[in-house]
Amino acid sequence: MSSSNVRRTIGNDVPWSWQDWMGITGPRFAQDTADSGSVGAAPDFQPEEVNALYREIFDALQVPKRLSGARRVRRGPFEIASEIFPAQFFSGDFVSVFDSDDATFLALGDIAGKGLSAAMWSTHILGLIRTYSSSVPHPHLVLAAINRDLYALGSVPLTTMILARLDWRREEITYANAGHCAPILQRRNGNVELLSAGGPVLAALYDQDFESARVTFEPGDMLVSYSDGLVECEGEEREEFGLERLITQIRMAAHLGASKTLFSIVGAVQDFAGGAPQQDDLTLMVVGGY
């Protein structure tokens, strides 16, 4: 079957960007056609094979979604809301919310790169988070174990992560930060703390120690974790959204609760971007009392 026939057959089933990735269409195809009047050795995909590949990849990428846990969770007096807004089909950002013993683990991270490869690595890392957290209930030790595992594999993209253990009965959070954007903890009285204790990015050094810190977390407080795609989002004047705008938005919306605060922040970022295409994955997790 010719490449042009393949294009016509699958055009209604597979997005154009996928067809471009598979060599069926796109600038390279157009240039070859203009130069030679015909297409050279195009991939010999049958339409049913293309559609089967598309479905298999889609199904595979449901795995990290399942490992992430529910996007809306209530534990004691706290509400936990999280969302990932990928810049492409697949995200290199990840979140995870799950219970372990009498506490709830919260993770948010960013794998260097974008697209399918980063998304597949996120599945592995999400599995490691759950595996180690079930036996080692200390975030800094979990990060150290994950770091050794990733480094030993070799050729693993660098990864940043914030990992926290929410003890909602004692109203406290223990956390460790592996080179990630420091989460913002806004107190009920309006004071702001940045949670930066931890260590370097994951997979950079083999035997790396991480620090942890414990902070009180009471109803009325709010914790906002985010990826760099949020604060580095550029407006029409090429200015970044930045940390100060994020803190201002948190203060304006904190009384709305975790879910509404999350979408209030996302809306503010979108307004700031002025309709410009999203350049990086944007991930957000908000924890607050109700």
Instruction: Identify whether the C-beta of residue 203 lies closer than 8 Å to the C-beta of residue 150.
Output: yes
Does one domain contain both 91 and 183? yes
Q: Give 206-250 pLDDT, tens digit per residue.
A: 989 999 999 999 999 999 999 999 999 998 888 999 999 999 999
**Beta-bridge mates of residue 38:** none
Which of 63-67, 118-122, 175-179 has the highest mean predicted lDDT (pLDDT)? 175-179
Per-residue pLDDT, 113: 77
* 99-103-104 Cα angle (round to 5): 45
Does one domain contain both 168 and 275? yes
Q: Give 7-46 pLDDT, tens digit per residue.
A: 433 344 444 443 443 344 444 444 444 444 444 555 666 7
The rounded distance, in Å, linking the Cα atoms of 221 and 162 is: 18
Domain hosting 80: range is 61-289
pLDDT at 78 over 50: yes
Q: How confident is the model at residue 155 (pLDDT cuts 50, 70, 90)?
A: confident
Does one domain contain both 27 and 143? no
Does one domain contain both 175 and 279? yes
The rounded distance, in Å, linking the Cα atoms of 149 and 147 is: 5
| Predicted TM-score of the model (pTM) | 0.78
Q: Give 43-65 pLDDT, tens digit per residue.
A: 666 777 777 877 777 676 666 66
Does one domain contain both 67 and 200? yes
Q: How confident is the model at residue 175 (pLDDT cuts 50, 70, 90)?
A: very high
Does one domain contain both 81 and 169? yes
Does one domain contain both 170 and 72? yes
> Which residues touch 118 (CB under 8 Å, ≥6 apart)?
90, 91, 92, 111, 112, 157
Which residue in the block uniquely carries the two structure tokens 């913002």?
A: 184
Does one domain contain both 148 and 216? yes
Does one domain contain both 31 and 72? no
Per-residue pLDDT, 116: 76
